[in-house]
């Protein structure tokens, strides 16, 4: 193939500032780890894929799978999204405090973290709830349910998504799924598209409460899509 240039796991970049071997650097939206010392403006070989121990914000505890971002002002890895650049995911627990964290750089130039999908089963009976803990930070952008066990009888089952402490969580705006009784059957699918009050941090509790006095003692499996 005449147009092949290189595999792309290591790139020659112009150092945007003075870097030392093993330090992170950001050029536009390309993040890499310097393979040698380089002065600002000099060419440097930067590794764009792999797992590295990198300098982090000390006062953060990381869990495996946390999305990791690069703060180019502080030259540190962080779990805080904000205006920072996504570079990958934590592959090991990091304590608070600690100076380094283990990061798997994401594929692609920006190392962008992908969406996360969680699953929780909810009993469709008034007062019952289903709970799951988010392993990542992001926004809940979609909720999908599938009815299990057979038809809902008597009344519709109203399933409301909430974020926060059990019994005191904040309802997700447009985060209500209604499983209708009329014509319902096993395998029925319903969807909600949250628009606000849908941000979660890693470790936040996400749960669903049931109202409407449905009959049939059915359950639903709810999928939660979280975008970084």
Q: What is the pLDDT of residues 17-34, one digit of tens each?
A: 999 999 999 988 889 999
**What DSSP designation does 185 have?**
-
Asked whether the predicted pLDDT for residue 142 surpasses 80, the reply is yes
Domain ranges, ordered by start, for the chain? 10-105, 116-227
pLDDT, residue 112, reads 45
With the CA atoms of 180, 171, 146 and 121 taken in that order, what torsion angle do they form, in degrees rounded to the nearest 10? -120
Separation of alpha carbons 57 and 75, rounded Å: 9
pLDDT, residue 114, reads 58
For 183: left if phi > 0, alpha if psi spans -120 to 50, otherwise beta; the answer is left
pLDDT, residue 3, reads 66
| Structure tokens given for 25 | 């650097």
Residue, of 107 and 23, whose pLDDT is higher: 23
Average pLDDT over residues 178-202: 93
SS3 95: coil
Cβ neighbourhood burial of 62 (10 Å; 0-12, 13-18, 19+)? buried
**What DSSP designation does 208 have?**
E
Residue bearing tokens 């779990």: 79
Residue bearing tokens 């300098």: 55
| Structure tokens given for 119 | 């699953």
Average pLDDT over residues 129-134: 93
> Is CATH 2.60.120.260 the right assignment for the domain spanning 116-227?
yes
Q: Are 176 and 114 in contact, with CB atoms under 8 Å apart?
A: no
Partners of 77 in the beta sheet? 56, 70
Asked whether the predicted pLDDT for residue 123 surpasses 80, the reply is yes
Per-residue model confidence as pLDDT tens digits over 68-90? 989 999 999 998 887 788 898 88
- Which pLDDT band holds residue 202 (cuts at 50, 70, 90)? confident
Average pLDDT over residues 86-98: 92
Asked whether the predicted pLDDT for residue 111 surpasses 70, the reply is no
Average pLDDT over residues 33-37: 96
User: How are the residues of the chain apportioned to helix, strand and coil, as percentages rounded to the nearest 5?
Assistant: 0, 50, 50
pLDDT, residue 88, reads 87
pTM of the model: 0.54
């Amino acid at each position: 193939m005449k147009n092949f240039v290189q595999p792309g796991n290591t790139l020659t970049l112009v150092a945007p500032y003075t870097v030392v071997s093993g330090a992170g650097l950001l050029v536009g939206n390309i993040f890499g780890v310097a393979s040698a010392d380089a002065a600002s403006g000099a060419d440097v070989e930067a590794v764009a894929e792999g797992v590295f121990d990198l300098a982090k914000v000390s006062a953060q505890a990381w869990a495996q799978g946390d999305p990791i971002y690069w703060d180019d002002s502080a030259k540190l890895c962080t779990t805080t999204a904000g205006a920072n650049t996504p570079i990958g995911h934590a592959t090991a627990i990091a304590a608070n405090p600690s100076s380094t964290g283990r990061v798997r750089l994401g594929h692609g130039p920006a190392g962008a973290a992908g969406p996360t999908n969680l699953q929780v089963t909810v009993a469709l009976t008034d007062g019952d709830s289903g709970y799951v803990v988010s392993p990542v930070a992001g926004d809940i952008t979609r909720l999908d349910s599938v009815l299990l066990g057979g038809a809902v009888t008597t009344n519709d089952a109203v399933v409301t998504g909430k974020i926060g402490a059990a019994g005191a969580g904040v309802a997700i705006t447009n985060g209500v799924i209604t499983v209708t009784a009329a014509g319902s059957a096993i395998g029925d699918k319903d969807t909600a598209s949250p628009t606000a009050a849908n941000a979660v941090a890693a470790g936040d509790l996400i749960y669903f409460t049931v109202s409407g006095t449905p009959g049939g003692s059915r359950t639903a499996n709810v999928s939660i899509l979280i975008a970084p």
